[in-house]
Amino acid sequence: MTQTLATQSDAVHLERTLELAERGRGRTSPNPLVGAVVVRDGHAIGEGHHAGPGCPHAEPAALADCFEDPDGATLYVSLEPCAHRGRTPPCVEAILAAGIRRVVVASDDPSAKASGRGPELLRAEGVEVEWAEARLAHAARLLNQPFRKHARTGRPLVVLKSALTLDGKVATRAGDSRWISSEASRARVHALRAEVDAVAIGIGTALADDPQLTARPGDGEPIGQPWRVVFDSHARLPLDSVLVRSAGGVPVLVVCSPDAPISARDALAAAGVEVLVVEGDDETARVAQALSELGERGIQSLVLEGGPRLAGAFLDAGEIDAMLAFIAPVLAGGGEARSVLEGRGVEAIADARRAVSVEVEPIGDDTCIHARFREW
Ligand SMILES: NC(=O)c1ccc[n+]([C@@H]2O[C@H](COP(=O)([O-])OP(=O)(O)OC[C@H]3O[C@@H](n4cnc5c(N)ncnc54)[C@H](OP(=O)(O)O)[C@@H]3O)[C@@H](O)[C@H]2O)c1
């Protein structure tokens, strides 16, 4: 990663690779979102993106799309080209076979089998390789936060989603939370669920709300359905809950501790629920352990939908990467009414997690705040 871009025209084509990459959103896991453009004399002669596991990578897709011979052209790509053989052949081979003379890359691939090997091989074969300037490299990295965190840590990216009142409550003093946020906000959450690998709640929420946790975007069929994960140490999830009754259609995974009665675990398993036993001395340790186990199953992105006790344990475990807060213009009051996060929390504000970036968007009557606490 030694060189940066010189020209504005490179930036235009790299921006286009990011737009193309977006087309795969919600479809590519466990693979990253990637877009590519082949350019000759300043004009695109081929474009492509990765559409999902087993489909061609963006680079061969763009090369196959070329309406003239790409020999001697420049290839722009949002993620470094791979040098390894997976379900498809290495992209480096396709690039060399096509006679591409220059490759401009927007972001690195931190996975162990990549990490610069592709660009190195291209350079060794005489192809000029350049990297995007900081702004575009950052935009390209943001596209693939779940892939990047999973590649680096083996754990999924966690986004805490919460609907809260203007006074910071997620339920009334009686535990009622339906519905704090507007229909438009809830539609946004359904769209988000369709894009991620898993949605998680604690058993407290499962018992209080008996939710479905499926993606029901309202504008046609969802792209996919996430795993529905319940943190439930003692395997208390009722067999007649909506989650268990629908486990045959959309998978449900219960995370319990070794203390959970075998009979309860067996009953859940017999009802089609996957039961994952995790060890750990306390709730925080069990969160970390469970995330590693979910990561091993290929889950790269997880939306945490509460409640406050489980979300607090995630915060204490240092596992909240981002938060989507849907703040409704209503006041609930009540000292007993729950707020978003419990757990241990911090003593000094100086120790509080501070967002590295914040986006604010009005949705209906609500305000959606998207805060990122770390980037991968
Ligand atoms: N407005 C919103 O966006 C929103 C979202 C969700 C929930 N809510 C509201 O929040 C309330 C429920 O919240 P809650 O705090 O009582 O329940 P919760 O956070 O959903 O579940 C807490 C329970 O999860 C279990 N658990 C298993 N593993 C855990 C771990 N590693 N760390 C922490 N907990 C773990 C514990 O029970 P065991 O020890 O038995 O396993 C714990 O009591 C309801 O009123 C619901 O309506 C609101």
* HEC-encoded secondary structure of the chain: CCCCCCCHHHHHHHHHHHHHHHCCCCCCCCCCCCEEEEEECCEEEEEEECCCCCCCCHHHHHHHCCCCCCCCCEEEECCCCCCCCCCCCCHHHHHHHHCCCEEEECCCCCCCCCCCHHHHHHHHCCCEEEECCHHHHHHHHHHCHHHHHHHHHCCCEEEEEEEEECCCECCCCCCCCCCCCCHHHHHHHHHHHHHCCEEEEEHHHHHHHCCCCCCCCCCCCCCCCCEEEEECCCCCCCCCCHHHHCCCCCCEEEEECCCCCHHHHHHHHHCCCEEEECCCCCHHHHHHHHHHHHHHCCCCEEEECCCHHHHHHHHHCCCCCEEEEEEECCCCCCCCCCECCCCCCCCCHHHCCCCCEEEEEEECCEEEEEEECCCC
Best residue among 199, 203, 336, 369 to mutate for probing ligand 1's pocket (most ligand atoms within 8 Å of CB) is 203
Separation of CA 342 and ligand 1 centre (Å): 10
CATH number of 8-143: 3.40.140.10
CB of residue 108 inside a 6 A radius of ligand 1: no
| pLDDT value of position 8 | 79
- Annotated binding residue at 91? yes
| pLDDT value of position 7 | 75
- Annotated binding residue at 307? yes
Separation of CA 230 and ligand 1 centre (Å): 9
CATH 3.40.430.10 in the chain, residue ranges: 148-372
| pLDDT value of position 3 | 60
| pLDDT value of position 4 | 62
Q: Which CATH superfamily is domain 148-372 in?
A: Dihydrofolate Reductase, subunit A (3.40.430.10)
Separation of CA 292 and ligand 1 centre (Å): 20
| pLDDT value of position 2 | 53
- Annotated binding residue at 87? no
CATH 3.40.140.10 in the chain, residue ranges: 8-143
What does pTM read for this prediction?
0.94
In this structure, which residue's CA is closest to atom 46 in ligand 1? 205
Q: Which residues of the chain have pLDDT under 70?
A: 1-6
